[in-house]
Amino acid sequence: MKNLFIFLSLAFFVSCSADDPAEILSSAKWIDLTHDFDTNTVYWPKDEPYRHDTVFYGLTEKGYFYSSFKFSAEEHGGTHFDAPVHFGQGQKFIHQVPVEQLHGPGVVLDVTRQAADNRDYLVSVADFEKWEGAHGKIPHGAIILLNTGFGKYWEDHLKYTGTLKTGEEGVAELHFPGLDPGAARWLVENRNIKAIGLDTPSIDYGQSKDFQTHRILCAAGLTMYENVTNLEQVPATGAYIVALPMKIKGGSGAPLRIVAIVGK
């Protein structure tokens, strides 16, 4: 892209076309990659659904307006963040993940064509090698986002997950793309990345029975983002990703607000 830029911290952002971080950020395009949390939010078939209840909404006895609500949710549902401890014994909990690991240059890998032909598509080493052939080596500290095209099915749970059933019966019928364990291992051993995310319910494909991809990435101390959206709006290179999970002490996962910053 014409305007390549590097985010050195959340407060220091340098571009090849300007020197003022505030000016760059204020003029950049910010793309929200987060689904709303509501009654339609996708959760694992065995998990409890999202709940949002009213504590108070309206005029108080003193005549002024006031509103307050409460919510309850599983850690791993909707657009969310996986801490390394999710599948990695002795790895970091949510509150222990350093802020330096929550942002980085974006790499968007488009496998929408492959996933359209195969709901169980596994993103492979060959897919990454093809991306690098077109765009260069995956940069140090990158955040990789896999665009499978499934984000467009969010409102249709059957198309998005492959099932409308709950419990173990629902788990058995999950069908959606994911990252091949061999590709996860290749990334860990050959590239220095911070995180990887995608627009499906899990980094392991729907029919996974042993969650090898999760286990490989978590053992390496990496973090993951699941149920991301709007990836079709993010370029293959040149975006900067900021992913800020709710800081739950002792959490293995958390609701996530994730954005892509793209220079104009």
pLDDT in tens, 180-212: 999 999 999 999 999 999 999 999 999 999 999
Query: How far, in Å, CA of 212 to CA of 193, rounded?
Result: 18
136: left (phi over 0), alpha (psi -120 to 50) or beta: left
What pLDDT, on the 0 to 100 scale, is given for residue 19? 60
Q: CB–CB of 216/188 below 8 Å?
A: yes
pLDDT, the chain, mean: 93
Return the residue matching tokens 């064509």.
113
What the chain holds in terms of domains, given with CATH numbers, is 28-47+75-262 (3.50.30.50)
Q: Which residues of 1-17 are buried (b: 16+ CB within 10 A; e: fewer)?
A: eeeebebeeeeebebee
- Please compute the mean of the pLDDT values over residues 141-151 and round it to a whole number: 98
Cα–Cα separations (whole angstroms), residue 136 to 127, 191, 216: 13, 12, 25
DSSP letters for 129-141? HHHHHHH-SPPTT
Long-range pairs for 127-131: beta carbons < 8 A, 24 or more residues apart: 127/183, 128/183, 128/186, 128/187, 131/107, 131/236
Q: Angle formed by the axes of helices 212-219 and 181-190, to 10°?
A: 10
- Residue 107 has which token pair? 């790499």
Return the residue matching tokens 């990703």.
241
Among 146, 168, 164, residue whose Cα is nearest residue 156: 164
- Please compute the mean of the pLDDT values over residues 241-253 and round it to a whole number: 98
Cα–Cα separations (whole angstroms), residue 104 to 25, 71, 157, 160, 206: 15, 30, 31, 28, 28
DSSP letters for 46-73? TSPPPEEEEEEEEE-TTS-EEEEEEEE-
What are the pLDDT digits (tens) for 33-77?
999 999 999 999 999 999 999 999 999 999 999 999 999 999 999
What pLDDT, on the 0 to 100 scale, is given for residue 26? 83
Q: Strands 51-59 and 239-245: what pairing?
A: unpaired
Query: How far, in Å, CA of 225 to CA of 203, rounded?
Result: 8
Which residues on neighbouring strands pair with residue 71, listed in sequence order? Answer: 52
What pLDDT, on the 0 to 100 scale, is given for residue 12? 36
Confidence tier at 256 by pLDDT (50, 70, 90) = very high
What pLDDT, on the 0 to 100 scale, is given for residue 3? 39
